[in-house]
Structures are given as structure tokens and as C-alpha cells.
Amino acid sequence: MTSSISKLSDLLSEKVKNTNRVIEENLSSEEAPIIGDIASHLIKSGGKRIRPLLTLAASKLFDYKGSKDTFLAAAIEYIHSATLLHDDVIDRSEIRRGLKTANIVWTNKYSVLVGDFLFSRAFQLMVKTQSLKIMKTLSDASAIISQGEILQVGIERKLHVSQEDYLKVIKGKTSALFSAACQAGAEITEASETHIKALRDYGECIGTSFQIIDDLLDYLGDESQMGKNRGNDFFERKITLPIIHAYEKSSEAEKKFISRIFKKPKPNHHDLNDLLEVLENKESLLYTKNQALTWSERSIDALQIIESSEIKTLMTELAKEIMTRTS
Amino acid sequence: MTSSISKLSDLLSEKVKNTNRVIEENLSSEEAPIIGDIASHLIKSGGKRIRPLLTLAASKLFDYKGSKDTFLAAAIEYIHSATLLHDDVIDRSEIRRGLKTANIVWTNKYSVLVGDFLFSRAFQLMVKTQSLKIMKTLSDASAIISQGEILQVGIERKLHVSQEDYLKVIKGKTSALFSAACQAGAEITEASETHIKALRDYGECIGTSFQIIDDLLDYLGDESQMGKNRGNDFFERKITLPIIHAYEKSSEAEKKFISRIFKKPKPNHHDLNDLLEVLENKESLLYTKNQALTWSERSIDALQIIESSEIKTLMTELAKEIMTRTS
């Protein structure tokens, strides 16, 4: 994935630079300097900034000449950061991107409130685009995101959840913002409704693929590259696609075995290894990877109606490379 | 206060009814019914809905004939409710409006996420007003609110905080939304910039008075009427105006005494009584009441440039009645 992200960043280097400036400039608050400390801790900790890059790419795809895309891209990154701050409180996470999380360094109180602040700042930046269409796209997306997170809490430890219901969780917590990032990037341009819809679909499908690979990496990944601990989802009792698949494919006896592992009050690494063995037996990681591939292909299909260009090629490449990401 | 609120509600009864309908209709989520349960628990628990009423009154003051004021008023109530959900998580509150708080009934996770959801819904409702001016007013207010809450966490247990710094906290956590509620209510009408500013000032001053009376009631109020426990602020280590005043007026020895009470790991009702005695000696509750009166008078002054009308009379009455509120 790094390759197409680097190429996109190079191609859009001026825009990326301006977006990063907007992101940094709006983090600080004279009245409450701690906001800047906390927000910077997260935002400058080396996230890939893939969502704002997609916004810039979507605008460029339709040859956008203005400067509103940078405000929009920064707003997208702020919404993303706000959800991360709140997620870490909810999941009691201790490590993100290889650093202690804000809730650990500054307490939950600050993480909740600085999340709220970033969310408000995102809407302030959106106002600068002077587009009601964009306000609608992003406020709709925000509602779907929180709804997805709420659904996710609802399925905690529920091994019998269906793949269909789990997809609703993913669409909320991840795909909605990818989709809005691409859609809004197109909406500030002269793009037709059909083209805007194509971008929305591209974003939704690539976001879904991205999240499914995330589920996979949690059981497969290299800790030093991921910046978080392997098996995190398991230790947080999160039911993700590999688990749902394995459980579906299990006999009653096997289901009881999985269930027992998930019910342990303090699961340890032996439990994780037991679970990995089940995932192996049921070929659940392979299945998960194939599902990610399907969504990646769908995202590429969505772009078919768009005229060829260097940006389009890179967006297609990005969808393929999502499959090989390691962090 | 009840009297002018009832009269305003009667005068605007059709609008109030429509606003309440918008508030209730947008609470539910088909995908995640728990959102409706949690949001209704708070929103239908008998809050005074004074902020949306101010929005409707501000619109009516300038003879607004459209229907956007109801979406706006509902959005204001949603922002308020979102901050309450997050506040209760942050303060670990257990009782609000005489009921168990959502964080106690459903856990912190849900309170954080449903707060985020209501905040997003508020922006979705604002989009329906089709006014970028309003989006700006309310996104600016939201940023100031979270900033105020962050400042408040920063002054926890800090007895030496100045009244000036404390006023910044109040302006954020309370006045900003009162102010935005009145300003935005005027902004959807044909009101002039001068009149819009008058409404913004009225809202800010009445909100400040409202919060100062809140600080007072926390030490004075009747528990059965307040719907929360007396001395709540003290037990949550919140430094409010009565305390700041008493500390300012104290000798070094007295300061040590107050400080000792606030440092206790588990303060009890004897400690509260000791503190109340200090507040009595320093006439801090009287001082607090006088400060509230000053802000109430300022809010009335702000309306001076507005032509006389029944609504204006009631808004003036409301500012006076804030002084006598008991809950």
C-alpha cells in the first residue's frame, strides 16, 4: 500500500502540504493549550492520513482548481481523530501507533472532551467550504459512524452474530468515513451526480476492504509494524470476521470450545494461540482475506465509469495494495 | 422562572409542539434501537428545554414565519443533551433530573457514543435550515463548549483560580450554547446584524446568570426539587464561584482549612457542612447571588434596542426569574 500512497502524496504534494498545515494550525487553542498537546500527540503520531489523501485525490480526479479541498481533507482527518480518541476510551486501549494512548497519558476525561473539540473543529473547517451539500454528506456520515460504533458494542462477545450484521458494524465504523471522504472530495468539484456516486461507492468498498484486512492483521500481523499488540481485538472481546466465520463453520462441540475461550475473565496468550489454531483449521483467515479481496475489486469496479488518468490509476493501485498492507 | 417559561411555551405552543416532535422523531435509529432508549431516557426525563425555547422566542421576536426554527431548536437541545451525556461520564455522576444517569444504567461506552450520535444528529438537523451562517454559529459554539469543559477539568481542586478564569469556564460550558441558541434563532429571520448581536449578548448574559445560580443552588438548593444531590459540585471537586470567592476572602489559615477539606480523599457531609459555614462567614453565597443579578441585568439591557412586544416582555421576565429559580 505504501507505494501508491507515496505516489499519490507526491502527485498531490502541494495539497498534502497545505492540508497538513491546516491540520496543525487548527489544533491549538490559546485558552486551553492542553488541547493542542493531546490532539498533537495523536495526530502527529504518524498515522497514514489515508482518508484526507482520498479526499484530495477525489477532488483532483475531477480537476478541482480551488483550495477548499484542503479544509475538507483536514476536517475528515479531525473526525477520524475524534473517533480514535473516543474509541480508545471505550476499548480502554493503552497503545496506538506504538505510543501510549491519550486516555492513558491524560485520562479519559480529556480524551472524551478533546474528541468533542476535534469533532467541532471539523465542522468549523467544513463551514469554510461554504457547501451545504458537504455539510450534509459529513453530518450523515458522522451519525452512521457513531451508530456503527454502538452496534459494535452491542455485538461484543456475541459469537453467533451473522456476517450480514457484522458488515453493518464495519460500514458504520470504517466504510462511512472513507465513503464520505471520497464523496465530499468529488462534491466540491463540478463532477456529475453519477460520478459523485461512483466515488462514494469506491470509498465505501475500499473502506470495507481496509477494515476486513484490519481484522485479519489483528490475528496475523507483526507487532513491531502494527504499533499495537497482536490479538488486541480478542483481548477486547471484539467479534470480527475471522471469528464469525470460524464459529459459523464449527460443530456444536467446537462452538462450546470457542465460547469458553471468549468467556474467560482474563484471557491470556495461550487462549489466543488456541483460538489461532481454530482459525487455521476452519481456514477463517483465508476466508477473511478473500472477502477483503472481493471488496477491493468492487472498489475498482466503481471507478470504471471514470475517465482514465494518473490519479485514477493510483486509486486503483491503492485498492489492490490494501490487500498487502501489514500495518 | 416557571411562570415566564410557561407563558413563553403557551405563546409559542404550536412551535414547541413541533419542536418536541422533531426531537422525538430523530432520536430513534432503526439499526440500533438502543440509541433511542438511551437518548429518550435523558431527553424525556423532564428537562426544562429552556435553550430551544429561547431559539423559538428569538425567531418569533423578529416575526419569523417559516418552519426552520423547529429544526434549529431541536438541534440546540440535541447538542445540550450530548454534552450532558459526556459530562456525566466525565464527572461519574449517578443522578440527573432525579433519575439514574445513562452511564450508570447503560455504561460509559454507550454514553460516550450516544453523545456522539446526538451531536451528529444536531448537525444533520442544522443542515435542514439550509443556512451556512447557522452552521458557523453552532460549530463555533460547539468548539467553545468543549473548550470550556476542558478548562473546567483543568481547574479541578485549584482553589486559587481567579474569578476571571472561572468566567471563561462558564462562558464555555454554559453561556456559549445559550448565546448560540438566541443568535441562531435570530439569524434565520430577517433581523439586522445589530439585532442579531443583541440576541447573542442576551443569550450569553442570561446563560452566565443561569450558571451562576446553578453554582449557588448546588450549595443552597432543595434536593427534592433539584433532581440531584446537594453539594454535588463539592463532592466532584468542582471549584465554583462561591468557593472561589470564599477562598479569595480568606486569611492564610482559613485558606489552609478550605484546602484541607478539598484535599480529603473521601469527603463526607460533615466536610460539606464545614464548607457551608465558611461560605456563610465570607458571605460568598450572597456575593454569588449578586453576580448572577448583574448578568441578569446585563441580559435585559442587551434587549433594549429591540422594539417592544409580548415576546420581549417575556424574555425580560425570564431573565429576572432566573434569579429565583430553585431547580
Between chains, do B168 and A34 touch, taking CB under 8 Å as contact?
A: no
Burial of A57 from C-beta contacts in 10 A (0-12 / 13-18 / 19+) = buried
By CA distance, what is A128's nearest residue in B?
Answer: B136
3-state SS class at A51: helix
Q: What is the pLDDT of residues B264-310, one digit of tens each?
A: 988 999 999 999 999 999 999 999 999 999 999 999 999 999 999 99
CB < 8 Å to A117, chain B: 143, 146-147, 150
Sign of CA dihedral B204, B210, B212, B215: negative
Between chains, do A149 and B113 touch, taking CB under 8 Å as contact?
A: yes
3-state SS class at A131: coil
Per-residue confidence (pLDDT) for residue A21, from 0 to 100: 95
Per-residue confidence (pLDDT) for residue A270, from 0 to 100: 93
Mutual angle of helices B193-220 and B176-187, in 10-degree steps = 150
Judged by a CB distance cut-off of 8 A, whether residue B33 touches chain A is no
CB < 8 Å to A135, chain B: 123, 126-127, 132, 135
Question: How far is A234 from A215, CA to CA, in rounded Å?
Answer: 10
- Nearby residues of A260 by Cβ (< 8 Å), 6 or more positions away: none
Number of H helices, E strands in chain A: 18, 2
**Whole-model pTM?**
0.94
C-alpha distance from A92 to closest chain B C-alpha (Å) = 10
Between chains, do B86 and A112 touch, taking CB under 8 Å as contact?
A: yes
Which one of B109, B145, B168 has the shortest CB-CB distance to A90?
A: B109
CB < 8 Å to A130, chain B: 132
Specify the range with the lowest mean pLDDT, choosing from A171-185, A216-230, B236-250. Answer: A216-230
CB < 8 Å to B35, chain A: 147, 150
Residue B69: pLDDT over 60: yes
CB < 8 Å to A32, chain B: 147, 150-151, 154
Question: How far is B293 from B230, CA to CA, in rounded Å?
Answer: 22
Judged by a CB distance cut-off of 8 A, whether residue B157 touches chain A is no
CB < 8 Å to B147, chain A: 29, 31-32, 35, 117
Per-residue confidence (pLDDT) for residue A99, from 0 to 100: 85
A140 C-beta neighbours (distance < 10 Å), count? 17
Per-residue confidence (pLDDT) for residue A223, from 0 to 100: 58
CB < 8 Å to B121, chain A: 143
Q: What is the pLDDT of residues A108-120, one digit of tens each?
A: 889 999 999 999 9
Q: Where are the domains of chain B?
A: 2-317
Surface of A (37-96) touching B: CB under 8 A = 83, 86, 89-90
Q: What cell was used for A141?
A: 456520515
Beta bridge partners of A96: A99
Q: What is the pLDDT of residues A18-33, one digit of tens each?
A: 999 999 999 888 888 8
Judged by a CB distance cut-off of 8 A, whether residue B162 touches chain A is no
Specify the range with the lowest mean pLDDT, choosing from B18-27, B181-190, B213-222. Answer: B213-222
Q: What is the pLDDT of residues A140-186, one digit of tens each?
A: 999 999 999 999 999 888 999 999 999 999 999 999 999 999 999 99
CB < 8 Å to A78, chain B: none
**Is CATH 1.10.600.10 what the domain over A2-324 is classified as, yes or no?**
yes
A47 within 8 A of A30, measured Cβ to Cβ: no
CB < 8 Å to A127, chain B: 132, 135-136, 139
Residue B322: pLDDT over 80: yes
Q: What cell was used for A206?
A: 475500499
Quick one: three-class SS letters along chain A? Answer: CHHHHHHHHHHCHHHHHHHHHHHHHCCCCCCCHHHHHHHHHHHCCCCCCHHHHHHHHHHHHCCCCCCHHHHHHHHHHHHHHHHHHHHHHHCCCCEECCEECHHHHHCHHHHHHHHHHHHHHHHHHHHCCCCHHHHHHHHHHHHHHHHHHHHHHHCCCCCCCCHHHHHHHHHHHHHHHHHHHHHHHHHCCCCCHHHHHHHHHHHHHHHHHHHHHHHHHHHHCCHHHHCCCCCHHHHCCCCCHHHHHHHHCCCHHHHHHHHHHHHCCCCCHHHHHHHHHHHHHCCHHHHHHHHHHHHHHHHHHHHHHCCCCHHHHHHHHHHHHHHHCCC
Judged by a CB distance cut-off of 8 A, whether residue B35 touches chain A is yes
Judged by a CB distance cut-off of 8 A, whether residue B151 touches chain A is yes
Which one of B108, B153, B168 has the shortest CB-CB distance to A31?
A: B168
By CA distance, what is B85's nearest residue in A?
Answer: A112
Between chains, do A149 and B116 touch, taking CB under 8 Å as contact?
A: yes
Give the side-chain half-sphere CA count within 13 A for B142. 35
Mean pLDDT, range B197-204, rounded to an integer:
98
Residue A252: pLDDT over 90: yes
By CA distance, what is B173's nearest residue in A?
Answer: A113
At A104, the pLDDT band (50, 70, 90 cuts) reads confident
At A227, the pLDDT band (50, 70, 90 cuts) reads low
Between chains, do B139 and A124 touch, taking CB under 8 Å as contact?
A: yes
By CA distance, what is A90's nearest residue in B?
Answer: B109
Between chains, do B120 and A135 touch, taking CB under 8 Å as contact?
A: no
The CATH T-level fold of domain B2-317 is Farnesyl Diphosphate Synthase (1.10.600)
By CA distance, what is B120's nearest residue in A?
Answer: A143
Give chain B's largest Cα–Cα span: 62
CB < 8 Å to B123, chain A: 123, 135, 138-139, 142
CB < 8 Å to B130, chain A: 132
Residue A1: pLDDT over 60: no
Which one of B113, B119, B146 has the shortest CB-CB distance to A153?
A: B113
Between chains, do B35 and A147 touch, taking CB under 8 Å as contact?
A: yes
Which one of B117, B126, B168 has the shortest CB-CB distance to A146?
A: B117
With CA atoms as reference, report the closest residue to A199 among A57, A295, A297, A58.
A58
Bin A268: left if φ > 0, else alpha if -120 < ψ < 50, else beta: beta
Q: Which residue in this structure is represented by grid cell 451562517?
A: B133
With CA atoms as reference, report the closest residue to A56 among A44, A45, A68, A48.
A68
CB < 8 Å to B136, chain A: 124, 127
Question: How far is A19 from A4, CA to CA, in rounded Å?
Answer: 19
Surface of A (88-117) touching B: CB under 8 A = 89-90, 108-110, 112-117
Question: How far is A295 from A302, CA to CA, in rounded Å?
Answer: 11
